[in-house]
Amino acid sequence: MPVRIKVREHPELMERFGANWTPTILVLDPDGVERHRIEGFLPADDFAAQLVLGLGHMAFARGDYAEAERRFDEELRDYPATDSAPEAQYWKGVARYKRTGNAAELTATYRAFQERYGNTPWAKKASVWAPTAA
Amino acid sequence: MAIDWKTDVDAALAEAKASGRPVLLDFSAAPM
pLDDT tens digits along A39-79: 999 999 999 999 999 999 999 999 999 999 999 999 999 99
Residues 6+ apart with CB under 8 A from A70: A59
- Interface contact flag, B25 A3, Cβ < 8 Å: yes
Q: Provide the pLDDT for residue B24.
A: 96
Q: Which of A62, A61, A117 is nearest to A87 (CA)?
A: A117
d(Cα B14, Cα A113) in Å, to the nearest integer? Answer: 41
Q: Which residues of A touch B27 (CB under 8 A)?
A: 5, 7, 13-14, 17, 19, 22-26
Mean per-residue pLDDT, A22-42: 95
pLDDT of residue B29: 84
CB B10 within 8 A of CB A17: no
A119 lies in some domain: yes
Report the pLDDT value the prediction gives residue B22, as an integer from 0 to 100.
95
Beta-sheet strand order (sheet of A24-28)? A2-6, B23-28, A24-28, A34-39
Report the residue from A19, A55, A58 with minimal CB separation from B27: A19
Q: How far is A110 from chain B (nearest CA, A)?
A: 31
For residue A10, is it within any domain?
no
Looking at residue A14, what is its pLDDT?
94
Q: Measured between CB atoms, which of A5, A8, A31 is closest to B25? A: A5
Q: What is the pLDDT of residue A133?
A: 66
Instruction: State the ipTM, two decimals.
Output: 0.91
**pLDDT classification of A134: cutoffs 50, 70, 90:** low
Mean pLDDT of the A78-99 span = 98
Instruction: Give a yes or no: residue A63 inside a domain.
Output: yes
Q: Is residue A3 part of a domain?
A: no
Q: Is residue A124 part of a domain?
A: yes
CATH number at residue A90: 1.25.40.10
Residues of chain B with pLDDT under 70: 31-32
Does this model's pTM top 0.80? My answer is yes
| Per-residue model confidence (pLDDT) at position B2 | 84
> Does residue A30 sit within a domain?
no
- Structural domain that includes position A103: 42-129
In a domain, A28, yes or no: no
pLDDT score of B7: 94
* Domains identified in chain A, total number: 1
In a domain, A27, yes or no: no
Spatial contact of A36 and A58, defined as CB atoms under 8 Å apart: yes
